[in-house]
Amino acid sequence: MVPSFRTGNSPSIIWGRTLTDHRDKLFDHSGAVEDFVFDAAVARVFPDMISRSVPGYAAIINMIELLTAQYAQPETRLYDLGCSLGAASLAMAAGLAYDGCEIIAVDNAPAMLACARDCLVDIPHPVRLVDEDIRELFVENASVVVLNFTLQFLPRGDRAGLLRRIRDGLVPGGILILSEKIAGETPEADTLLCEMHHAFKRRQGYSDLEISQKRAALENVLFPERLSTHLDRLNVAGFRRVDTWLQCFNFVSIVART
Ligand code: GEK
């Protein structure tokens, strides 16, 4: 397995060819589905799964490299919260121009961390992997914090507190990059965004059965909110500037600045 630290437009450029050879067929079966968990089976196909499920994913990883190059500050920490296999950490390592910074990648799924450990080798800056619930994590001296499709898995009631702690742990000029699957602002908008997301997944080779089984598996696990809810919550958490820099159907990425 030879992971690459270069980010680009395809998952194989993000993680290296070997990792992306495993095609996601996890939901290619009929019958009852269990709630989605980040276990070894998911970790094995994760690069293929997320790249074919999240429109704009590779672009976001690419831009995390650029945002890091722009906003990372010397002698600070960079956090990747809910790191999975570490794609955002790889991007931060590629974009980071300073020695003396620390990249900290946090996840509470052991199977994901085990795979991340294999990916995060031979990279320009070391990444410290931490097995912890991000709701328990103390964030400090941070210039860049990434929550790339992680907040959506927390109970809604836990989200404001985490954002407040991130805000308090950022140095002046620091940023939070928050990417989320969202609900439309109106039922009509939601229908359109969901239809287009499913069209995207079909175009990526998923069958209607796989799409509906995965949706059922995520129903009690992933709780999307409206973009306006996210923007309001970030403002209330004390971020001074909050800007949506990318939207691809029902997937958005926001930069929130101190
Ligand atoms: C990427 N950011 O490739 N504490 C720690 N980790 C958590 C928690 C929690 N409370 N809840 C969920 N996770 C990655 C993709 S995936 C998104 C992130 C997706 C972790 C969970 O174990 C999983 O690895 C990750 O958040 C979400 O840029 O699969 O749609």
Q: Is the pLDDT of residue 18 over 60?
A: no
Q: How confident is the model over 140-176, as pLDDT tens digits? A: 999 999 999 999 999 999 999 999 999 999 999 999 9
Q: Residue 21 — pLDDT band, cuts 50, 70, 90?
A: confident
* Ligand 1 geometric centre to CA of 82 (Å): 4
Tell me how far apart the alpha carbons of residues 33 and 78 are, in angstroms, rounded to a whole number.
Answer: 37
Choose the residue to mutate in 84, 92, 129, 130 for probing ligand 1, maximizing ligand atoms within 8 Å of C-beta.
84
Q: Which of 221, 222, 223, 240 is closest to 231 using CA atoms?
A: 240
pLDDT, tens digit (0-9, with 9 covering 90-100), for 90-100: 999 999 999 89
Percent of the chain with pLDDT over 70: 92
**pLDDT grade, residue 124 (50/70/90)?**
confident
Fold (topology level) of 21-185+218-257 = Rossmann fold (3.40.50)
Alpha carbon nearest to ligand 1 atom 3, residue: 87
Q: What percent of the chain has pLDDT over 90?
A: 84
Q: What is the mean pLDDT of the chain?
A: 92
pLDDT of residue 121: 85
| Element housing 243 (H / E) | strand 241-248
Distance 107 CA to ligand 1 centre (A): 6
Would you say residue 114 has pLDDT above 90? yes
What is the average per-residue pLDDT within 196-215?
95
Q: In the chain, where do the E strands start and end? A: 77-81, 102-107, 127-131, 142-148, 170-183, 225-226, 241-248, 251-257
Token match 């067929």: residue? 25
**217-232 average pLDDT score:** 97
As a whole number, mean pLDDT of residues 170-196 equals 97
According to the model, what pLDDT value does residue 20 have?
A: 59
The phi, psi pair for 164, rounded to 5°, reads -65, -45
Read off the pLDDT band of 12 (50, 70, 90).
low
Q: Which atom of ligand 1 is nearest to the CA of 42?
A: 29
pLDDT for 246 equals 97
